[in-house]
């Protein structure tokens, strides 16, 4: 199989799976088999491409020319490869988990759920491999629309309200800001192809660059930069596998990935550094990091707390890009993978707790840790990774972003990152502490409780991703090697 | 054989439906009448395609009726601009008929079906004639043929809802006022130039220079056509007419009638008046453009609050006319291309949407949003088609609507106004609101007990899906539409005129009188 066919396959495979899933509506076991098989096959195809990219190849394919000079085209580069590996790898985990969760909860409309899920993955692949901003935008919108039914899944009034906010903010920002930015870029630069070093140099009035960047930064609503973050907490009404998809696998990662892509391939890191166009974005990202962390501390609903944690963590990546330095980009890219692994663990734990006990508020979860030891241990690992403690993956991304901040002399940003880590401790660890060390009112601490975990298919995936957090710590070097050609185009290495 | 009729294609285009119409009336059997109507419509479509194919390279076909050379005789003049509109009109004309066959069954008695086809063909004749002709007075004649038959077509909805009669009457009054204004404008032009042939008119107007009379003529024509094409605030007849007309009629009118009026406006503005004078250009910039923007917002917001799906779409149509006029009023080549491409894209999108609504009406007898609860579960195919059409209305990528928006925003950036670009985007976000109201009602509300009983007839679904597929296809591959629209823009606004800014007033103004 040539790489060109493989690219097309990554998008068509999940899309094609939806047809089978729809046909197998009446046979749930077969339907889930299709889901799992296509997830596994997709991952294999992506891994095959990864090898090519590591060897330095940049396979490209063009589908059809939508407007003159604006084709639907795909080209693989390292950042996209990283995103694709993360999304397709975690799809397998999420697919397994959904089976446990959806059946454990007897959810309705499961076929619709699996169909939309597969379309979302297909869109994520399209975003990852897009060869120009136009293609990326198209799949970005497909992703928004395909996740809407997932957010509205429960069809209650609350779900409808949440989904409406979700759609309004994501479509509003993408059409309201991003589309204008794209057309503006095209009008000025005459192309939308992603080129290392950017396409705007010498073509765009430098004094207007901050405005264009603002249109992009706010237009990429999926990156949940404040003040356009409301959709993430609103989407919390969705079933937990969807939250995992939104927070870890596809949606927010698509957002920050687009942010990195725009910074590296449309503006060019050097141009941003020379003109200082991204200075304001750096401050806004720093504000988002701290403000979202503080809001997270006030939330008693576990999923809402995790949602605000996500908003904060996403801004790390935006910050990495806005620092406009190679190390910052490196840190941001690594954080895509690290945060995905950590956050999916936390969300699957929250879901497992819900399936087993139907509890959503942290204050009700006293002593649960002794009832659900595996879930809580996994939660602890995920939390520590998000906090950034070695030997867990999250340590590396913070390390590089801090190095980037030091590199550009932004010592205040190092301070922001350190305070943020402390805040992470303050809002994540109490959940674990309550689980293990407190007792529900009216029972004594020493009373022995029987272990009662969530269904098997819920617990296995979250243990796998928890172990993944450890593994990533030791394999961060490989991600570094993958991203190196993008972050250090001149071949400059660490001092 | 073909060689014999080839030179006469442009007249056959109009003659075939015109002759087929009375033949339909002779058949009381509705099936025969349908076959005749459909054959006529299909032949018109084939002829339009042949004509477009022969002028898309930028050439012009001129046909002299009865062999009388223009400017004495009536000339049919076909360039890329009207060939493109011809294809739109005849495609929709042929496309709606298979749908109409079943859809009108529940809307009025079978004995009236033949007469329905008569009116339908006459309307088609009128619309095609307006587009094909190169004679200004001939435009008026055909415009009235199509309008008169349209009033009758709207009134066919009276069996389902008596209000169709008042709607048709209202439309008749407003349409007649519009026609009167138009013909007064023509009279003034004739007074100045002594000719009615469009090319001749253009040449003589240029030679005579600007005068008070031409200015008044321009305003009369603008207002007259503004009534016909539902330019805000002259749109008042449209919501009722679209709401109470039979489904097939609404789909046909929404996709063609206003589009043809827009074409006439373009033809008069660009070919005849040609912006050689500052007055016309300024009118466009300071009157038409603000009104277009106002329409985009006012009509979209009105659509958000409608309780009836057909009325909701009708208001959306007024807003979409705003987009077309905005593109034109930007007075640059891209803007004109955007307007023309939206003419096409909106025709297929709105056609698809109204057809989908017609399917709902066929099954549950109502288009009120309250009655459509849970329709996504009982009529999944129709609803899915509606949603795709809705996405195209919003302008989501990979749908036809996106292409229009893309050109429109590009044109406003070219005109140096990021502000207008922002307004375009903002108003399409309002479209998200009204489309999503329908989506929520259709999918997220439980279906009432004993509600709809499955899907509409297959022939109606297929017709709807042809247009749905077209609005997807022309969103994915816009080569055909963008080439045709750009050639059409060339025909209306020759390249030398492209960089045009309002020219200084002619020095010896008033010398003409």
**Residues of chain B positioned with their CB less than 8 A from the CB of A184:** 413, 418
Q: Any idea which of B182-186, B335-339, B427-431, B490-494 has the lowest mean pLDDT? A: B490-494
Helix (H, G, I), strand (E, B) or coil at A70: strand
E-assigned strands of B112-168? none
**B109 in contact with A, Cβ within 8 Å:** no
Task: Confirm if A343 and A379 have CB atoms less than 8 A apart.
Answer: no
Q: Report the pLDDT averaged over residues B193-203.
A: 87
Q: What DSSP assignment string belongs to A242-263?
A: HHHIIIIISHHHHHHHHHHHII
Over the stretch A214-252, which tens digit does the pLDDT of each residue have? 889 899 988 888 888 888 888 888 888 888 877 777 888
Q: Quick one: tokens of A443?
A: 């029972």
pLDDT above 90 (res B180): yes
> Quick one: A8 and A154 in the same domain?
yes
By Cβ distance, the residue of B391, B409, B477 closest to A180 is B409
Q: Cβ neighbours of residue A366 under 8 Å, at least 6 residues apart? A: A434, A435, A438, A439, A440, A441
How far apart, in whole angstroms, are the C-alpha atoms of residue B474 and residue A124? 24
- Collect all residues of chain A within an 8 Å Cβ-Cβ radius of residue B396: 141, 145
The pLDDT tens digits of the residues spanning A96-153 come to 888 877 777 777 778 888 888 888 889 999 999 998 898 999 899 989 888 888 888 8
Contact B477 A66 (CB under 8 A): yes
Q: Is B275 left (phi over 0), alpha (psi -120 to 50) or beta?
A: left
User: How far is the C-alpha of B227 from the C-alpha of B235, rounded, in Å?
Assistant: 7
Which of A175, A170, A176, A183 has its CA nearest to residue A134? A183
Among A67, A179, A183, whose Cβ lies nearest the Cβ of B403?
A67
Helices A78-104, A326-357: axis angle to 10 degrees equals: 10
User: Quick one: A188 and A319 in the same domain?
Assistant: no
Lowest mean pLDDT of A256-260, A264-268, A377-381, A456-460, name the range: A456-460
Task: Kindly list the residues from chain B whose CB atom is less than 8 angstroms away from the CB atom of residue A171.
Answer: 394, 429, 432
Are A371 and A305 in contact by the 8 Å Cβ rule? The answer is: no
Quick one: pLDDT at residue B66?
Answer: 80
Q: Which residues contact A362 (CB under 8 A, 6 or more apart)?
A: A300, A301, A302, A305, A430, A431, A434
Closest of B246, B426, B456, B429 to residue B362, by C-alpha: B456
A67–B440: do the CB atoms touch at under 8 Å? no
The verdict on A238 and A296 lying in the same domain is no
B362 neighbors B103 (Cβ within 8 angstroms): yes
B89: nearest Cα among B318, B317, B343, B459: B343
Q: Which has more pLDDT, A440 or B263?
A: B263
Q: Which has the higher per-residue pLDDT, B93 or B483?
A: B93
If you average pLDDT over residues A435-439, what whole number do you get? 78
pLDDT of residue B504: 40
Q: Are A200 and A262 in contact (CB under 8 A)?
A: no
Residues A376 and A397 in one domain: yes
Convert A132-161 to b/e letters by CB count within 10 Å (16 or more is b): bbbbbbbbbbbbbbbbbbbbbbbbeeebbe
| The pLDDT of residue A441 | 62
Interface size, chain A vs chain B, as Cβ–Cβ contacts under 8 Å: 70
pLDDT score at A440: 67
Lowest mean pLDDT, pick from A152-156, B137-141, B296-300, B338-342: A152-156
Interface of A with B (CB under 8 A): 64-68, 72, 137-138, 141-142, 145, 149, 152, 155, 160, 164, 167-168, 171-172, 175-176, 179-180, 183-184, 186-187
Tell me the average pLDDT across B210-217.
84
Report which of A194, A252, A185 is spatially closest to residue A222, judged by C-alpha positions: A252
Q: Which residue of A has its CA nearest to B437?
A: A164
Query: What pLDDT does B1 receive?
Result: 64
What is the pLDDT confidence band of residue A450, given thresholds at 50, 70 and 90? low
Are A65 and B479 within 8 A, CB to CB? yes
Q: Quick one: tokens of B231?
A: 């330019």
d(CA B360, CA B368): 10
Query: pLDDT tens for residues A257-282?
Result: 999 899 888 888 888 888 888 888 88
Q: Which residue of A has its CA nearest to B394?
A: A175
What's the rounded mean pLDDT across residues A54-59? 81
- Measured between alpha carbons, how far is residue B246 from residues A185, B100, B108, B452 in Å? 46, 9, 9, 19
Spatial neighbors of A55 by CB under 8 A, at least 6 apart, are: none
Instruction: Check whether B96 has a pLDDT greater than 70.
Output: yes
pLDDT in tens, A420-430: 989 988 888 88
Tens digit of each residue's pLDDT (9 = 90 or more) over B293-315: 999 999 999 999 999 999 999 99
**What is the Cα–Cα distance from B301 to B299, expressed in whole angstroms?**
5
Both A417 and A301 in a single domain?
A: yes
Does residue B145 surpass a pLDDT of 90? yes
* Alpha-carbon gap: B423 to the closest alpha carbon of chain A (Å): 9
Q: Which domain holds residue A364?
A: 278-495
Is residue B509 scored above 70 in pLDDT? no
Alpha-helix residue ranges (DSSP H) falling in B305-417: 309-329, 333-364, 375-378, 380-394, 400-414
Mean pLDDT of chain B: 86
Lowest mean pLDDT among A303-312, A461-470, A482-491, B281-290: A482-491
Query: In the prediction, which pLDDT does B507 show?
Result: 39
Of the residues A237, A252, A277, which one is the last residue of a structural domain?
Answer: A277
Nearest CA in chain B to A186: B410
Evaluated on CA atoms A431, A434, A435, A440, the torsion sign reads: negative
Q: Is the pLDDT of residue B140 over 90?
A: yes
Query: Which residues on B lie below 8 Å from A169 (Cβ)?
Result: none
Long-range contacts formed by A269-272: CB under 8 A, 24+ apart: A269/A198, A269/A324, A269/A325, A269/A326, A269/A329, A270/A197, A270/A198, A271/A197, A271/A198, A271/A200, A271/A201, A271/A209, A272/A209, A272/A213, A272/A322, A272/A324
Q: Is the pLDDT of residue B510 over 60?
A: no
Q: Are residues A257 and A283 in the same domain?
A: no
SS3 of B28, please? coil
In tens, the pLDDT along B469-507 reads 999 998 888 888 888 888 888 888 776 544 444 444 433
User: What was the pLDDT predicted at B209?
Assistant: 74
Instruction: Among A277, A311, A338, give the residue marking a domain's end.
Output: A277
Strand partners, B62: B77
Per-residue confidence band for A364, with pLDDT thresholds at 50, 70 and 90: confident
Specify which residues B135 forms β-bridges with.
B197
Residues of A in contact with B414 (CB under 8 A): 187
The pLDDT of residue A485 is above 60: yes
- Collapse the DSSP code of A195 into the 3-class scheme (helix H, G, I; strand E, B; otherwise coil) and give the result: coil
In a shared domain, residues A251 and A297: no
Tell me: ipTM over 0.85: no
What b/e readout covers A34-54, taking b as 16+ CB neighbours within 10 angstroms? Answer: bbbebbebbbebbeebbebbe
Domain boundaries, chain B: 276-500
Residue A25: list chain B partners with CB under 8 A: none
> What is residue B46's predicted lDDT score, i.e. its pLDDT?
93
Query: What value does the mean pLDDT take over residues A179-189?
Result: 87
Strand partners, A70: A67
Distance from CA of A244 to the nearest CA of B (A): 23
The torsion of the CA quartet B380, B383, B387, B393, rounded to 10 degrees, works out to 160
A178 to chain B: closest CA residue = B425
Q: For residue A103, give Cα distances in angstroms to A24, A32, A355, A398.
A: 16, 11, 10, 38
pLDDT for B55-85, tens place per residue? 888 788 888 888 888 778 888 888 888 888 9
Domain edge (last residue) among A277, A307, A322 = A277
Based on the fold, state whether residues A86 and A231 are members of the same structural domain: yes
Of B311, B349, B322, nearest to B434 (Cα)? B311
Dihedral through CA A258, CA A263, CA A265, CA A266, nearest 10? 100
> Average pLDDT, whole number, for chain A?
84
DSSP B49-75: HHHHHHHTTS--EEEEGGGPPTTTS-E
Burial of B89 (0-12, 13-18, 19+ CB in 10 A): buried
Residue A448: predicted pLDDT: 57
Same domain, A72 and A185: yes
- Number of domains present in the structure of chain A: 2
> CB count, 10 Å around CB of B500?
15
The three-state (H, E, C) secondary structure of B176-187, written as one string: HHHHHHHHHHHH
* Statement to judge: residues A52 and A111 lie in one domain: yes
The pLDDT value given to residue B276 = 65
Burial classification of residue A112, based on how many CB atoms lie within 10 Å of its CB (0-12 exposed, 13-18 middle, 19 or more buried):
middle
Q: Which of A15, A22, A65, A66 to mutate to test the interface with B (most CBs of B within 10 A)?
A: A66
How far is A281 from chain B, CA to nearest CA, in Å? Answer: 22
- Contact between A49 and A3 under an 8 Å Cβ cutoff? The reply is yes
Cα B388–B487–B400 angle (5° rounding)? Answer: 5
In angstroms, the Cα distances linking A451 to A174, A280, A368, A371 are 47, 51, 9, 4
Does residue A299 share a domain with residue A269?
A: no
Specify the pLDDT at position A116.
87
Q: Which residues on neighbouring strands pair with residue A61, listed in sequence order?
A: A74
Residues A80 and A223 in one domain: yes
Between B88-92, B101-105, B335-339, the lowest mean confidence (pLDDT) is in: B101-105
Q: State the pTM of this model.
A: 0.84
**Residue A491: how many CB atoms within 10 A of its CB?**
7
Token reading at A172: 């509003």
Averaged over B365-382, what is the pLDDT? 85
CA dihedral for B285, B290, B292, B296, sign (positive or negative): positive
């Amino acid at each position: 199989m040539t790489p060109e066919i493989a690219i097309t396959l990554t998008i068509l495979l999940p899309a094609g799976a939806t047809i089978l899933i729809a046909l197998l509506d009446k046979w749930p076991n077969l339907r889930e088999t299709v889901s799992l098989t296509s997830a596994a096959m997709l991952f294999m195809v992506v891994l095959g491409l990864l090898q090519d990219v590591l060897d330095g190849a940049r396979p490209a394919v063009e589908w059809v020319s939508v407007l003159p000079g604006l084709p639907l085209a795909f080209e693989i580069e390292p950042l996209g490869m990283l995103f694709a590996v993360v999304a397709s790898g975690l799809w397998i985990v999420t697919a397994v988990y959904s089976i446990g969760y959806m059946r454990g909860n007897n959810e309705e409309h499961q076929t619709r759920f699996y169909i939309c899920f597969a379309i979302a993955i297909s869109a994520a692949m399209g975003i990852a491999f897009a060869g120009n901003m136009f293609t990326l935008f198209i799949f970005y919108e497909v992703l928004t629309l395909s996740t809407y039914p997932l957010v509205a899944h429960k069809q209650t009034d609350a779900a409808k309200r949440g989904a409406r906010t979700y759609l309004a903010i994501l479509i509003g920002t993408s059409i309201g800001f991003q589309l204008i930015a794209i057309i503006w870029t095209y009008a000025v630069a005459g192309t939308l192809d992603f080129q290392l070093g950017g396409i705007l140099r010498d073509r765009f009035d430098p004094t207007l660059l901050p405005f264009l960047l603002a249109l992009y930064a706010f237009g990429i609503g999926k990156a949940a930069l404040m003040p356009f973050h409301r959709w993430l907490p609103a989407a919390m009404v969705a079933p937990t596998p969807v939250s995992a998809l939104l927070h870890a696998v596809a949606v927010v990662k698509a957002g920050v990935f687009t942010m990195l892509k725009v910074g590296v391939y449309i503006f060019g890191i050097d141009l941003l550094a020379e003109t200082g166009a991204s200075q304001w974005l750096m401050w806004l990202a720093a504000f988002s990091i701290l403000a979202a962390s503080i809001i997270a501390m006030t939330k008693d609903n576990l999923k809402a707390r995790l949602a605000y944690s996500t908003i904060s963590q996403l801004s790390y990546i935006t910050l990495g890009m806005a620092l406009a330095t190679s190390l910052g980009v490196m840190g941001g890219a690594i954080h895509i993978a690290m945060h995905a692994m950590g956050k999916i663990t936390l969300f699957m734990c929250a879901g497992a707790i819900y399936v087993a006990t139907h509890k959503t508020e942290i204050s009700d979860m006293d002593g649960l840790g002794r009832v659900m030891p595996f879930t809580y241990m996994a939660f602890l690992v995920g939390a520590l990774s998000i906090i950034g403690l070695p030997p867990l993956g999250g340590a590396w991304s913070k390390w590089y972003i801090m190095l980037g901040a030091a590199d550009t002399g932004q010592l205040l940003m190092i301070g922001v990152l350190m305070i943020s880590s402390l805040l992470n401790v303050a809002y994540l660890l109490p959940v674990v502490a309550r689980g293990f060390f407190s007792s529900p009112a009216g029972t004594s601490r020493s009373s022995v409780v029987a272990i009662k975990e969530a269904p098997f298919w819920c617990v296995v995936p979250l243990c796998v991703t928890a172990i993944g957090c450890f593994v990533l710590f030791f394999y961060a070097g490989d991600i570094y090697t993958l991203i190196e050609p993008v972050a250090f185009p001149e071949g400059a290495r660490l001092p | 054989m073909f060689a014999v009729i080839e030179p006469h294609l442009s007249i056959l285009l109009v003659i075939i439906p015109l002759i087929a119409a009375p033949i339909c009336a002779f058949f009381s059997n509705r099936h025969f009448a349908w076959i005749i109507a459909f054959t006529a419509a299909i032949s018109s479509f084939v002829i339009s395609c042949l004509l477009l194919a022969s002028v898309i390279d930028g050439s012009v076909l001129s046909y002299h009726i009865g062999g009388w050379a223009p400017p004495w005789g009536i000339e049919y003049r076909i360039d890329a601009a009207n060939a493109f509109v011809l294809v739109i009109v005849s495609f929709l004309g042929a496309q709606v008929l298979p749908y109409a066959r079943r859809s009108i069954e529940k809307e009025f008695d079978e004995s009236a079906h033949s007469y329905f086809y008569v009116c339908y063909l006459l309307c088609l004749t009128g619309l095609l004639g307006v587009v094909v002709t190169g004679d200004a007075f001939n435009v008026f004649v055909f415009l009235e043929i199509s309008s008169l038959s349209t009033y009758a077509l709207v009134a066919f909805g009276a069996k389902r809802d008596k209000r169709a009669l008042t709607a048709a009457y209202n439309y008749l009054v407003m349409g007649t006022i519009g026609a009167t204004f138009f013909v007064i404008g023509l009279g003034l032009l004739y007074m100045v130039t002594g000719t009615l042939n469009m090319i001749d008119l253009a040449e003589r107007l240029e030679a005579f220079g600007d005068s008070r009379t031409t200015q008044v003529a321009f305003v009369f024509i603008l207002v007259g056509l503004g009534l016909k094409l539902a330019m805000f605030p002259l749109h008042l007849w449209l919501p009722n007419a679209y709401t109470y007309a039979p489904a097939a009629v609404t789909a046909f009118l929404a996709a063609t009638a206003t589009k043809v009026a827009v074409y006439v406006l373009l033809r008069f503005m660009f070919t005849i008046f040609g912006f050689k004078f500052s007055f016309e250009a300024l009118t466009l910039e300071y009157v038409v453009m603000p009104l277009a923007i106002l329409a985009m917002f006012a009509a979209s917001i009105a659509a958000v609050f409608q309780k009836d799906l057909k009325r909701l779409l009708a208001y959306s149509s007024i807003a979409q006319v705003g987009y077309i006029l905005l593109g034109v009023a930007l007075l640059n080549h891209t803007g004109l291309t955007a307007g023309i491409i939206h003419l096409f894209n909106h025709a297929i999108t709105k056609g698809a949407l109204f057809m989908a609504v017609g399917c709902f009406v066929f099954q549950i007898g109502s288009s009120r949003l309250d009655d459509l609860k849970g329709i996504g579960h009982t009529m999944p195919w129709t609803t899915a088609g509606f949603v795709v059409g809705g996405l195209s209305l919003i302008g989501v990528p990979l749908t036809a609507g996106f292409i229009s928006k893309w050109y429109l925003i590009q044109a406003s950036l070219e005109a140096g106004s990021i502000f207008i670009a922002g307004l375009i985007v903002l108003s399409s976000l309002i479209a998200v609101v009204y489309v999503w109201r329908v989506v929520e009602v259709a999918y997220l509300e439980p279906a009432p007990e004993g509600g709809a009983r499955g899907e509409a007839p297959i022939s109606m679904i297929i017709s709807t899906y042809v247009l749905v597929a077209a609005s997807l296809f022309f969103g994915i591959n816009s080569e055909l539409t963008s080439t045709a629209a750009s050639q059409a823009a060339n025909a209306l606004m020759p390249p030398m005129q492209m960089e045009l800014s309002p020219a200084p007033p002619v020095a010896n103004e008033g010398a003409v009188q």
